[in-house]
Amino acid sequence: MSVLPIVLWPDARLSQICAPVGDADIRTLTDEMFETMYAAPGRGLAGPQIGDMRRVFVMDVTWKEGARTPMVFADPAITARSVETVVMEEGCLSIPDLMVPVTRPREVSVTWRDEAGASHSADFDGFAARCIQHEMDHLDGVVTLDHLDTATRTALIEGYDPK
């Protein structure tokens, strides 16, 4: 296993729609994605962020509080969204040191497959709902900045130097 280099915005790969995982064995890939995510350190990491253009992301929303709960989401789909929305400042490992306010539904219902191919469905709220929506955006070529109106986006980007 190895820590993979993280693709940084505005790399064109972060603007592309990813392809289905299907029946492919992704366990080596997701092991390396977890290692990369924990090293970054982050709580979610999507395929295009390490240059794999498939619909997969890894998430662990509790490890920074001391208990690891790693989850793999392959070919995820949001099947329901709450009407109620909430604004939160979001960071992104591909846009280091830039916090972006993003409005999203407070709760989502999600279906996905894990790294062993087993199907799951569950409802999420709080930070997990936020993280899942953020990572699923990456699978559709969308980053936090794409949620902003032009004036807000321009003001945030102005002077931003990811180095």
Interacting stretch for Zn ion, rule CB under 5 A, among 15-23, 68-76, 87-95, 145-153?
A: 87-95
Q: Which of 78, 52, 84, 83 is nearest to 134 (CA)?
A: 78
Determine, following the binding rule CB under 5 A, whether residue 145 of this chain makes contact with Zn ion.
no
98-127 residues in contact with Zn ion (CB under 5 A) are none
Determine, following the binding rule CB under 5 A, whether residue 92 of this chain makes contact with Zn ion.
yes
Q: What letter represents residue 20's amino acid? A: P
Determine, following the binding rule CB under 5 A, whether residue 7 of this chain makes contact with Zn ion.
no
Look up residue 116 and give its two tokens.
């062993």
For residue 88, what are the β-bridge partners? 102
Least separation, in Å, of the C-beta of 41 and Zn ion?
Answer: 14
Q: Measured between alpha carbons, how far is 33 from 114 in angstroms, rounded to an integer?
A: 14
Interacting stretch for Zn ion, rule CB under 5 A, among 18-26, 67-75, 81-89, 92-100?
A: 92-100
Is 135 noted as a catalytic residue in this protein? Answer: yes
Least separation, in Å, of the C-beta of 33 and Zn ion?
Answer: 13
Q: Which ranges of the chain would DSSP assign to H, the alpha helix? A: 27-39, 126-139, 150-157
Determine, following the binding rule CB under 5 A, whether residue 139 of this chain makes contact with Zn ion.
no
Residue number with CB closer to Zn ion (95 or 119): 95
In the three-class reduction of DSSP (H, G, I as helix; E, B as strand; rest coil), residue 81 is classed as strand
